[in-house]
Amino acid sequence: MLEKLFKLTEHRTTVRTEIVAGLTTFLAMAYILFVNPNILGYTGMDKGSVFVATCLAAAIGSILMGVIANYPIALAPGMGLNTFFTYTVVLHMGYTWQIALGSVFLSAMILFTLSILKIREWMITSIPLPLRSGISAGIGLFLAITALQNAGIVVDNSATLIGLGDLTRPNSLFAILCFIVIVVLEARRVPGAVLISILAITFLSITVGISSFSGFISMPPSIVPTFLQLDICSALDISLVSVIVAFLFVDVFDNSGTLIGVLTRAGLVDEQGKIPKMGKALLADSTAALFGSLLGTSTTTSYIESVAGVSAGGRTGLTAIIVGILFLLSLFFAPLASSVPAFATAPAMLFVAVLMISELAEIDWKDITVSAPVTITALAMPLTYSIVNGIAFGIITWTLVKLLTGLYRDLNATLMILSMLFIIKLGWLHT
C-alpha cells in the first residue's frame, strides 16, 4: 500500500528511511510548539488552546502535503506570520485576535481560490526574485528585533527609540546562552538543535528557580477558547485589506521559497528547474492555512526545516505524514510547553531570523536599482514595525526606480498595479 501511495522505489527510498527523515524534520521544527503559544499568547489568546491548535494545524498541513503532493515537506504555523499577527495586527494596529484570525481565514480563502485557478503560480513569478529575498530578510529583521525585546536585550529609549537592556538580568543571560548553544549545535549538525537548546535552558532556569515547572505529560488542553472564534465579518472592513494582502503575500513568497529550496535539495525539480506538482503543493498549503485559522492559530505554511529530513533521505510524502503523526502525539505534552519561558523561545526566533536574513547573500549589490529597493524593503519592516509597510515601500521603490531608469523589462502589470494600490494605502494621493 505504501509503495503504491508514495512510489518509494521510484524515489529510491524505503519506509525506514522515510520514518527516520520524518523524525529528523520533526525535531528540527518542534520548537514551534513552544514558540507559537508564547507569541500568540501576548494577544490574550489562551496558550493551552493555541498549543493544541498548533499541533493540529501542523499535523493536518503535513499530512495533506504528504497525501496530495507526495512531497517530503512539513507544515506548521509560520514564524514571521505569527509575529506579524501578534505585534502588528493586534498590539500595534489594535485589532482583536478574533479579527486577526478572521483576516487569516480570508487570506487563506483567497490563497485557496488562487491555487485552484493556478493564479498563485503566476503571482510567484510576477514578483522579482530580489524583492522576494528582501521581503524574507525584512521579516527576519522583524523577528530579530522582536526576539531581542522579548529577551530584554533591547529596550525602549526616549532619546534613541531603542537601547541596550540590563544584561545582568537572568532572563537576558539565559537568552544569550540559549542562542549560543543553538548556533554551536547547528554548526555541529546536531539534529533538533533548536529544540534541544530550548529544553536545556528551560530545565536550567527551572533548576535555579527562575521559572516554574508544570509537568511533562497530560491530556490535551481544551481547544474551545480559540476554536471557531474568528471574526470574519469584522475582518471584511476596508481598513484590513492591507493586513489580508500582507498575510497573502508573505505566505505566497515564504511558501514558494521553501518549496523551491527543499525540493531542489531533494532532486525533485525537473530539468528546467520547475516543480512538477507545484499546484498540488500550493493547494495543500492553502487548505492547511484554512484549517489553522478555524482551529485558532496564525497562518500555516511550509517549513524550511524540511531540508533536515531531506538530508536524512526523505523523498516522498511519507516523510511529511510521519511528521504529522508526531505532531498529533505532541498534544499530550502541553504541560511541558507551558513550562517554557519567553526568554527560552526568543533565541529560537533570533536563530530563524539569521536564516532568513541570509537571503540577502543572493542580491546583486552592484546594481543600485536592485540593491536600493531591497534594502528599503528589509529595513522598513523592523523600523516601522510593520511587514505591510516593508512590502509597500519595497514594491513602490522598485517600480519607480526601474521606471525612471528605463529598465522596463524588470517591470510587469502586477508590480504597477500593486504600486498604485500601496500609494493609495499610504495616503500619498491625498496629500
Tens of pLDDT, residue by residue, the chain (431 residues):
777 777 777 778 888 888 888 887 887 788 888 889 988 999 999 999 999 999 999 999 999 999 998 888 899 998 878 888 898 889 888 899 999 999 999 988 988 888 787 776 676 667 787 887 888 788 788 888 888 988 889 888 888 888 888 888 988 999 999 999 999 998 998 877 887 888 899 889 999 888 888 777 888 889 999 999 998 988 888 878 878 887 887 777 667 667 766 776 667 766 655 667 777 888 888 889 899 999 999 888 888 778 778 877 888 888 999 999 999 998 998 888 778 887 887 888 788 788 878 878 888 999 999 999 999 999 998 888 777 788 889 989 999 999 999 998 888 888 888 888 788 777 665 44
Beta pairing partners, 161? 157
What's the confidence (pLDDT) of residue 7? 79
CA 430 to chain centre: 35
Provide the CB-side half-sphere exposure for 410 (13 A, CA): 20
Residues 6+ apart with CB under 8 A from 404: none
Domain boundaries of the chain, sorted by first residue:
2-135+221-333, 365-426
Q: Residue 127 phi/psi, 5° resolution?
A: -90, 125
What's the confidence (pLDDT) of residue 121? 66
**Mapped to the 3 state alphabet, what secondary structure does 35-87 carry?**
HHHHHHHCCCCCHHHHHHHHHHHHHHHHHHHHHHHCCCCCEEECCCHHHHHHH
Cell of 156: 525602549
* Identity of residue 272: Q
Burial 51-63 (b: 16+ CB within 10 A, else e): bbbbbbbbbbbbb
CB 79 within 8 A of CB 355: no
CB 247 within 8 A of CB 103: yes
The distance in angstroms from the start CA to the end CA of the chain is 65
- C-alpha span between 225 and 208 (Å, rounded): 33
What's the confidence (pLDDT) of residue 40? 93
pTM reported for the whole predicted model: 0.77
- C-alpha span between 349 and 151 (Å, rounded): 11
What's the confidence (pLDDT) of residue 120? 67
C-alpha distances out from residue 101 to 233, 238, 296, 301, Å: 11, 16, 7, 15
C-alpha distances out from residue 162 to 142, 153, 165, 317, 354, Å: 14, 10, 9, 45, 20
